[in-house]
Chains A and B, each alone.
Chain A
Amino acid sequence: MFIVIEGIDCSGKTTISKILAEQRGAILYRTPPNNIIAKRDEVDAKASPIEHYHFYLEGIHTASKEIWEFMASGKDVVCDRYWLSTFAYHVVMGVSVSLDDFVGITQPDLTVLLLVSNDVQVKRFLERGMSTGDRRMINRQLELAKEYKKAITKLTIPQLIINTDLPCPTEIVNKIQSFINA
């Protein structure tokens, strides 16, 4: 099974992905993949929106191939951000993004979208600090949340939307597990 955890910054993706992968004995995969991660900070800081998009799009296609091989080897995969993040972020950045750019990639069995209210997000940002990528999009978090919701509800893909303001991570993971088992 291939489960993707998506969401805006500080919504709890990394924590939830880690617990879920541990519980399911799955491989925890993070995008962008290892072969391009070294360039990430530089791209986040200096690249034009279109260059930024092509960098992340290439990452998604590489991730798709690697995830396919893990699944074909009989392993479950939990992925922290996948194509929906690349899509939503770049729509908000004003890039002319097409869903066709993602045709043919390995499809998740479930996409979980984590949302968080603005005040809780700010608190979490203050606690954990910000990456270069976070800084680039810091003033556009509301637009991003809207774009994620708009994109995921428009698509007929297996999906689950959870607000992470209050529940503890274990409760969120239990919700996801219950959804999968149902």
Chain B
Amino acid sequence: MTESIKVTKEGYKKIIQRKQDLFEQLKEVQGKKGEAAEVGGNVWHDNFSFEELCRQEVMLNKRIADLSTQINNIELVEAPFGNEFLQIGHIAVLLLDDEEERQYEIAGFGETNLNANPPKVEYLAPIVRNFVGKEIDTIANIKVGGKTRKITLTEILRKEI
């Protein structure tokens, strides 16, 4: 069974918009493909532009299919109640290797924005996924890129509105 994908209302709107944007890009690529075939022929390897557009078309179709699967499994989440357990919408205060403190807002699927203040990371991201649904003082050893770091959830904050 496919697991549900948690998104906020904002995130849901963004995913729908992204799908529409991909459809627009696909239409554009298909239009250009017709032109490229007329100009340089549609024989594989004879026409680089045509070949490149075919590649883009395949890639866009795959992204649209992936996104459609995700949309079918969406579960909308509301703002969290209380601060006892870390949830989407909370701000997690993390201690890395007992020395560096970081704050991340826990975001829904596909809502990562590292330029936000604090940075937003989706609930499935390695740095936070072991802490979602957990209390403060939870410790996890997180391995990424062959390197393991000890992470401690030291505080759960509510976002100021």
Contact = CB atoms under 8 A, between A and B. Distances in A.
Nearest to A109: B145
A107 B127 CA distance: 17
Contacts of A64: 147
B139 interface: no
A69 B127 contact: yes
B102 to A, nearest CB: 7
B145 A73 contact: no
Interface size class of A (residues with CB under 8 A): 20 to 34
Given A70-B114, A170-B52, A174-B55, A105 B147 contact: yes
A73 B147 contact: no
A171 to B, nearest CB: 8
A71 interface: yes
A74 B147 contact: no
B139 to A, nearest CB: 15
Given A170-B52, A174-B55, A73 B146 contact: no
Nearest to A108: B145
B126 interface: yes
Interface residues of B, number: 20
Nearest to A178: B55
Interface string B105-127: 00000001010000101101111
A74 B121 contact: yes
A149 B159 CA distance: 51
A64 B144 CA distance: 11
Interface of A is mostly: mixed
A121 to B, nearest CB: 25
Contact of A68 (B52, B112, B125, B147): B147
A68 B119 CA distance: 15
Interface of B is mostly: mixed
Given A2-B145, A64-B147, A170-B52, A71 B114 contact: no
B14 interface: no
Contact of A106 (B114, B121, B124, B145): B145
A68 B114 contact: no
Nearest to A171: B48
Contacts of B121: 73-74
B60 interface: no
B144 A106 contact: yes
B149 A73 contact: no
A50 to B, nearest CB: 26
Interface of B: 52, 55, 96, 102, 104, 112, 114, 119, 121-122, 124-127, 142, 144-147, 149
Interface of A: 2, 27, 64, 67-75, 104-109, 170, 174
20 contacts: A2-B145, A27-B114, A64-B147, A68-B145, A68-B149, A69-B127, A71-B126, A71-B144, A72-B127, A73-B121, A74-B126, A74-B127, A105-B147, A106-B144, A106-B147, A107-B145, A107-B146, A108-B145, A170-B52, A174-B55
